[in-house]
Chains A and B, each alone.
Chain A
């Protein structure tokens, strides 16, 4: 094990709240229905390949897209398609979804078999067929990431086991329950991409995970476990790459531009399993926690399971939940309804009680500079916020608002409870509109 060579700027140290860390993952039984949206990745939405009344099987592809940046979707159950209809995401986007009533047989589709490939292209194609997206939360299609644009040479692989968001322990459970899979997957990815050196980076507050993974690595594997300082957002891709390799990903560029490929631990573990079994991405480890959750725990859930049923399986609520968050408390999305489904990149579901959910009132900015000190991207959130309040969206560009990764550190520290991240998003959206209008004007 080695230590990270650099330390990123800014960041915060929120409490860990990782009470579910040592609770073994429990498999959730079949839900009464699954609703599987056609867009669970960054990129183009898939088109449904099934219609109402069709019988589908486990692992059967039910949605795909012709587009390059997309990941197909598969049925997580065997049963009958009861509906194909649009659903509304909590981000405000409407997407088509396939609703399936399980028949309880969990009959596996014939396409599910260890992938056969003769060359790298074939291998990448089968990874695309698995429906895999980055499981760390962003949901970028993995096969796209594994094939860097021509001319870019990858030489380092960084496996992200930081899990820096409070509450979430699903990656930690993966590291504890399936360390072989992670090491195996790391080696597979090294083979696929031809990268000679890999680092598995884990925050130092997870010593057992560091130990269990280190013990599986042999000399000559060219894999190194790196222990990271425990600080949020240590798992942010650019921060992670910088602390582990010392390379800065330039603004507006991708890790591939500095020769780095970053993958989440759960993502590589999936690759290892997929290459052995051919079972596409149909289930997820999810941490259930928050003040209103009766039994905080880790569950293995089928993708498409309604949130309501997940919480019911975990003992329901001990208090009235006021906020349901998909993901961590720093970057997760508040859900407007418990009818929403578990998605591919869902790693946690938090039910916050009244106390945790209620926001403090905004007061005037006292110019304390805490947001500036906390920003890992070196921005000046207070000035972006002030310009947004005045409607000066173009001015926010001078303050590099587009470099904001919406990590939430600024809002977290602000003593005046300014809605800083919200104004970052607003500024970015307005700038996009402005740019579109300028484009339109030219034509």
Chain B
């Protein structure tokens, strides 16, 4: 009997996980927020999501063709970037601006730095920062949910401008469900939490980073956000703005977050501190995306300084 046997190193058994399956899970987890964005911001939200996804996927495809690399659009990471970018845009952002943002995210932020797994900042957030700098007016023209482009302020904008006067602030339930001004994907805490729960169940993300992030923002704004110490309206800070989206979907991005449990806690706390400082003392009403970007930059350092001790010791043997 002549048979051709495969060699190969152990293990000979695999979990069957793949990058594609993980990205597909992320897209599924983003669906509730996508649906709620279309529900609240109607056709504008749908257009933005479609345009950014097409821009990102096309840019990735073109890059692979031009550089003669293996086509990577099937890993679906470009589509994820597209959706996340759209979620970070105001409904009033023109379509062409969104498209440029998508191309920027993929080409400049992701591929020029080596592609999936190598980019050191979150592509969607870096693109958003670039768009903020280039088209500040369009990027911050907020609207009320609904068919008509009725301009409105975001809840955090109201707090920032000394608001908080009753009547002006939205009701908690509107905020929780997403019936408020903001970027299209961030407004519904409910939809984001539903998606996050799916990611946790599917073991795509773990909770230490989001909890550290949200917990830190909650504590800091409670302590320092009010007239006197410990009177801040932390509920608003947690549910209004991009914290939920940022903590569960942006900060947990694999490529740009630490790989250890401790590292993720540190990143979460770091993001939380920066967000609170920007929100309470900075020039912007919102600080989630900048704080994540800043923490992205120190991720390689966090990983290098937190090489865990091996089980049963840890002293580096005559290294």
Contact = CB atoms under 8 A, between A and B. Distances in A.
B310 A360 contact: no
Interface in B24-52: none
A308 interface: yes
Question: Which of B12, B14, B75, B315 has the most chain A CB atoms inside 10 A of its CB?
Answer: B12
Question: Which of B4, B15, B257 has the most chain A CB atoms inside 10 A of its CB?
Answer: B15
A252 B258 CA distance: 28
A366 B3 contact: no
A406 to B, nearest CB: 7
B162 interface: no
B167 interface: no
B229 interface: no
A372 B13 CA distance: 18
B5 A359 contact: no
A259 interface: no
A323 interface: yes
Interface string B1-21: 101111111111111011101
B283 interface: no
Contacts of B259: 367-369, 372, 380, 382
Interface string A336-380: 111000000000001010001111100111111110110011111
A413 interface: yes
Contacts of A33: none
B5 A336 contact: yes
Given A363-B75, A366-B117, A368-B22, A251 B313 contact: yes
B68 interface: no
Contact of A378 (B8, B18, B303, B308): B308
Interface stretch (A58-66, A81-89, A326-334): A326-334
A219 to B, nearest CB: 34
Question: Which of B206, B308, B310, B319 has the most chain A CB atoms inside 10 A of its CB?
Answer: B310
A356 B3 CA distance: 16
A405 B257 CA distance: 27
Query: Looking at chain A's contact residues, is the secondary structure mostly helix, strand, loop, or mixed?
Result: loop
Nearest to B259: A369
B90 to A, nearest CB: 30
A422 interface: yes
Contacts of A419: 9
Interface string A409-443: 00111111101011001000000000000000000
Contacts of A373: 206, 261
Interface residues of A, number: 75
Contact of A248 (B4, B261, B311, B317): B311
Nearest to B309: A378
Contacts of B64: none
A97 interface: no
B21 A415 contact: yes
A136 interface: no
B312 A238 contact: yes
A220 to B, nearest CB: 33
Contacts of B319: 397-398
Interface in A294-352: 308, 320-325, 329-338, 350, 352
A320 B5 CA distance: 10
A12 B260 CA distance: 17
Contacts of B260: 369, 372, 380
Contacts of B18: 360, 363, 415-417
A368 B254 contact: yes
Contacts of A368: 22, 254, 259
B22 A334 contact: no
Nearest to A397: B319
B75 A330 contact: no
B170 to A, nearest CB: 37
Nearest to A365: B117
A336 B7 contact: yes
B7 A421 contact: no
B292 to A, nearest CB: 15
Contacts of B315: 251
Contacts of A160: none
Given A248-B312, A352-B12, A357 B254 contact: no
A308 B1 contact: yes
Contact of A330 (B10, B19, B22, B309): B10
Interface in B287-319: 303, 307-317, 319
B317 A402 contact: yes
B3 A338 contact: yes
B5 A324 contact: yes
Nearest to A394: B319
Interface in A150-168: 166
A380 B22 contact: no
A412 B117 contact: no
A140 B311 CA distance: 22
A283 interface: no
Given A366-B255, A412-B11, A415-B17, A357 B307 contact: no
Contacts of B117: 364-367, 416
A357 B11 CA distance: 11
A253 B312 CA distance: 9
A253 B18 CA distance: 37
Contact of B9 (A357, A364, A417, A425): A425
A264 B310 CA distance: 25
A404 B115 CA distance: 29
A364 B115 contact: yes
A372 B308 CA distance: 10
Given A333-B10, A365-B117, A252 B313 contact: yes
A50 interface: no
Contacts of B206: 373
Interface in A207-265: 238-239, 242, 248-253
Contacts of A350: 12
Contacts of B309: 378
18 contacts: A166-B13, A239-B311, A250-B312, A251-B310, A252-B317, A322-B6, A323-B8, A323-B12, A329-B12, A332-B10, A334-B7, A338-B3, A356-B12, A367-B257, A368-B254, A378-B310, A398-B319, A400-B314
Interface of B: 1, 3-15, 17-19, 21-22, 75, 77, 115-118, 206, 254-255, 257-261, 303, 307-317, 319
| Nearest 9 interchain pairs by C-beta | A408-B11, A251-B313, A369-B259, A403-B310, A329-B13, A415-B17, A422-B9, A378-B308, A248-B312
Given A332-B12, A365-B117, A380-B260, 13 more contacts: A238-B312, A239-B311, A323-B6, A329-B13, A330-B11, A330-B12, A356-B12, A366-B116, A366-B254, A367-B255, A397-B319, A414-B17, A415-B15
